[in-house]
Amino acid sequence: MDTRETLDLLARDAQYDLSCACGTKNNTDHRKRSENGSWLYPVTVPGGGTGVMLKTLMTNACANDCKYCPLRSNQDYKRIAVAPEKLAQFFIDIKDRQGLIGLFLSSGVLDTPDRTMERLIDTAEILRKVYRYRGYIHIKIIPGASQSAVERAVSLSSAVSLNIETPGIRHFSRLSEKKDYMRDIINPLKYLSSLTAKGSSYARVSKTTQFIVGASDETDQEIVTYLWGLYKRLQMDRIYFSAYQRGLGDNTIPGETISNSEPNAHLMREHRLYQTDFLVRTYGFTLEDFSFHQGALSLEKDPKQVWAEGHPEFFPVRLRYANRNELLRVPGLGPTLVSRIISARKQGSIKSLYDIKIPKHLASKASSYVIPE
Are the beta carbons of 57 and 14 closer than 8 angstroms?
yes
CB of 189 to ligand SF4, least distance (A): 15
Min dist CB 178 to ligand SF4, Å, is: 9
Can residue 254 be called a binding residue for ligand SF4 (CB under 6 A)?
no
Report if residue 242 touches ligand SF4, rule: CB under 6 A: no
Task: Answer yes or no whether residue 139 interacts with ligand SF4 by CB under 6 A.
Answer: no
Using a 10 angstrom Cβ sphere, with 0-12 exposed, 13-18 middle and 19 or more buried, the burial of residue 201 is exposed
User: With the C-alpha atoms ordered 29, 34, 37, 41, is the resulting torsion angle positive or negative?
Assistant: negative
Which positions from 18 to 47 touch ligand SF4 by CB under 6 A, shown as an x/- string?
A: ------------------------------
Q: Is 108 in the site for ligand SF4 (CB under 6 A)?
A: yes
Q: Does 66 bind ligand SF4 (CB under 6 A)?
A: yes
69 near ligand SF4 (CB under 6 A): yes
Residue 156 beta carbon to ligand SF4: minimum distance, rounded to whole angstroms: 21
Say how far apart CA 4 and CA 341 lie, in whole Å: 51
Is 71 a residue that touches ligand SF4 (CB under 6 A)? yes
Is the Cβ of residue 249 or residue 332 nearer to ligand SF4 in the bound state? Answer: 249
- Eight-state DSSP code of residue 212: E
Nearest by Cα to 333 from 305, 301, 298: 305
Cβ atoms of residues 189 and 221 within 8 Å: no
CB of 123 to ligand SF4, least distance (A): 17
Burial classification of residue 265, based on how many CB atoms lie within 10 Å of its CB (0-12 exposed, 13-18 middle, 19 or more buried): middle
C-beta of 72 vs 271, nearer to ligand SF4 = 72
Q: How many CB atoms lie within 10 A of CB 341?
A: 21
The yes or no reply on residue 62 touching ligand SF4 (CB under 6 A) is: yes
Binding stretches for ligand SF4 (CB under 6 A): 62, 64, 66, 69, 71-72, 108-109
